[in-house]
Every structure is written in structure tokens, then in C-alpha cells.
């Protein structure tokens, strides 16, 4: 059970995170639908069109440190609001592109910057401030919004593309920023004061770490992951780089699978509508997975939980190998559950 520090601000932060992450990452992963429409309408190659999402991934990843710095200076809620504005501008401009390089700039750079600034980095900060012992569970609920976005976003965006074309769909989606992201960030998100207590065991302050001699890379290796590391200690620790490497490679695999899944299933003879609903199944399994893995990580530890989740990703890749079989639809469902 989630136990906020005080009042209802913690649950509100989780709810806002759930909805907003569902919106922005739902659009990201729905690019699989746009990919097919853009190739058919503009005549670009699939690899060239898919390159835009590679730019999105690079911009999203490299912007992390800068977003962290902005959060420290201006607050997470202002950063999220600015992300909503950039998201709106980028999506509106994308609806007007005529060349592939324009798509790379409008969607790949501008919209991606908006997604990153209204994405998981600032929301992890918001949720983490309110929860201690049950942080894994709280983040599981919040990040479950990504799965919800895939669940409802991909089928809805597929319907928008069929009804209004891909240009109209991008224009409709651009309204999400002023309707939800910006007002939710500015008027609903609250952070506890710096002096507010946090549930559960939290590491001592940086000064205490230095005084106790735990501010060295060697000591950090012996310290639980709940340790409040300072930046230079983390950068000098193999654990930090191993975790970063796992996150990077795992994200690369997920991007390849989720972005090309729709087109691949269509190539294998699965109807577009059925393919969009299979993507929706991914959303359902993602919601369940976020909650399950988050809760499990509170019980057995983050490392073991991450390893088990990686095994399921491997099973999803194996399922795709057999997608061309007579049981293609059921194999696709198995892929959706495992990924």
C-alpha cells in the first residue's frame, strides 16, 4: 500500500505522472503507426522514416543531464510545463513537414525535447520526494502510465490517422500540451519542503557521508543502492556505469522492437487494426509489469528484478522469430505479453 509523507500531494504526483507519461510516451511509441502512414504517403524508405525515432532516442537520452540541471535550478513542475510547450510546438510543426529532414527536426528534436522534459526524469524527482519505503511501488504506479499510453494511444492514433491522415493526427495531438501537460504541471504538482521527512530508511546527508568516509568509490561498492550518492562518487563507481550500460542497451532493444513491431506485423499479413490492438496488449502487460516489477523490487532488490525482466524481453525476441508461422496472431500476442 502506498504511504505518502503527508496529505494527498503524493498520490496526486503519482496520478499526474501516470497520465502525463502515458500521453507523451504513448505518442512516442505510436510512431510505429505513423511510420507505416508516412512511408505510404510520402514514399520515403522505411529506414529513412524510422530514422526520426532514432533522433528522438538520442535527443531524449542526451538531454537527461541538462534536464536534471534545469530541475535543480527551476523546479520539476516548471521543466514539465516547458516540456509541454515544446511538445505542442513540435507536433504542430510535424503536421506540416514536406521533407524527411524536416521530420527529423520537428519530431526528432523539438518534440523529443518536449517528451524528455515532460518525461520520466522530472516525474521520478516528483514522486521520489514523497515516498520512501514504497518508492518502487509508487514508481511502478507512475511509470505504469507508459503502458496505459501504449494501450489506448496506439489504437486511438491509428483511428486518427485513418480518419484525418497522419497530418491531422499530429495536429490533434499537439493540443495535449495546453489542455493537460502545462496546467497539470503548474497547478497540480506540489513538492514537499526540503526539511520534510521521508518514510523509510534514507541515507544520511552528503556531509554525513563525507564525515563517515563513505564518499569514496570503494566504499560505494559496499553501500546499498539506497545510498544517497554524490555525483563524483557515482561517476567513479563501476556499479553506476554497469547500471547505465544495462539501461542503455535495454532501451535500444525496446526501441527497435516497439517502433518496428507494427510494420513488421503488417508485413507478416496481420491486419492493421489487429496490429494496433496487439500493441494495446503491450500496454496492458506493461501496466501490470510496472506494478509487479516495482513491488517485487521492493521485496527482493532492484538487481534481481531487472535480471528477471530482461529474461522476459529475451522471450519476446524469440517469439518474433516465429511470427511468420501459421499461428502468427497468437505468437504476436505472446510477444506483446513478454516484451
Ordered domains of the chain (ranges, CATH): 9-194+242-338 (1.20.1250.20)
* List of the chain residues with pLDDT < 70: 1-7, 132-133, 190-231, 259, 272, 276, 279-280, 283, 322-339
- What pTM does this model have? 0.69
CA distance 174 to 293: 32
Q: What is the pLDDT of residues 58-77, one digit of tens each?
A: 898 889 889 989 998 999 99
What is the rounded CA–CA span in Å between residue 277 and residue 20? 21
Q: For the chain, first and last CA: distance in Å?
A: 27
- Phi/psi of residue 131, each to 5°? -125, 145
pLDDT digits (tens, 9 = 90+) for 293-305: 777 877 887 778 8
CA distance 55 to 48: 11
Residue-level pLDDT at 7: 58
Helix 76-94 vs helix 64-74: angle between axes, to the nearest 10 degrees?
A: 130
Please report the sign of the dihedral spanned by the C-alpha atoms of residue 91, residue 147, residue 184, residue 126.
negative
Contact 250, 313 (CB under 8 A): yes
C-alpha cell at 200: 523509510
Amino acid at each position: 500500500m502506498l504511504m505518502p509523507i503527508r496529505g494527498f500531494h503524493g498520490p496526486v504526483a503519482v496520478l499526474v505522472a501516470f497520465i502525463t507519461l502515458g500521453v507523451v510516451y504513448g505518442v512516442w511509441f505510436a510512431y510505429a503507426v505513423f511510420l507505416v502512414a508516412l512511408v505510404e504517403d510520402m514514399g520515403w524508405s522505411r529506414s529513412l522514416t524510422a530514422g526520426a525515432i532514432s533522433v528522438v532516442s538520442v535527443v531524449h537520452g542526451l538531454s537527461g543531464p541538462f534536464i536534471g540541471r534545469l530541475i535543480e535550478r527551476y523546479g520539476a513542475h516548471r521543466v514539465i510545463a516547458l516540456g509541454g510547450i515544446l511538445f505542442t510546438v513540435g507536433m504542430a510543426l510535424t503536421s506540416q513537414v514536406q521533407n524527411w529532414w524536416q521530420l527529423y527536426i520537428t519530431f526528432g528534436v523539438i518534440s523529443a525535447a518536449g517528451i524528455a522534459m515532460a518525461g520520466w526524469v522530472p516525474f521520478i524527482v516528483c514522486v521520489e520526494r514523497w515516498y520512501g519505503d514504497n518508492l518502487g511501488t509508487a514508481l511502478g504506479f507512475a511509470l505504469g502510465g507508459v503502458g496505459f499510453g501504449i494501450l489506448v494511444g496506439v489504437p486511438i492514433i491509428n483511428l486518427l490517422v485513418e480518419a484525418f491522415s497522419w497530418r491531422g493526427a499530429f495536429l490533434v495531438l499537439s493540443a495535449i500540451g495546453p489542455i493537460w501537460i502545462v496546467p497539470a504541471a503548474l497547478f497540480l504538482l506540489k513538492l514537499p519542503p526540503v526539511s520534510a521527512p521521508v518514510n523509510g530508511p534514507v541515507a544520511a546527508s552528503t556531509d554525513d557521508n563525507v564525515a563517515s568516509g563513505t564518499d569514496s568509490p570503494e566504499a560505494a561498492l559496499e553501500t546499498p543502492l539506497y545510498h544517497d550518492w554524490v555525483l563524483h562518487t557515482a561517476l567513479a563507481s563501476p556499479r553506476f556505469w554497469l547500471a547505465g550500460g544495462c539501461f542503455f542497451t535495454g532501451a535500444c532493444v525496446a526501441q527497435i522492437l516497439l517502433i518496428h513491431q507494427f510494420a513488421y506485423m503488417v508485413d507478416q499479413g496481420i491486419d492493421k487494426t489487429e496490429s494496433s490492438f496487439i500493441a494495446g496488449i503491450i500496454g496492458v502487460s506493461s501496466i501490470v509489469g510496472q506494478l509487479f516489477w516495482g513491488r517485487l523490487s521492493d521485496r527482493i532488490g532492484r538487481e534481481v528484478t531487472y535480471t528477471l525482466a530482461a529474461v522476459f524481453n529475451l522471450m519476446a525476441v524469440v517469439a518474433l522469430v516465429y511470427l511468420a508461422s501459421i499461428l502468427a496472431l497468437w505468437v504476436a500476442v505472446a510477444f506483446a505479453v513478454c516484451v
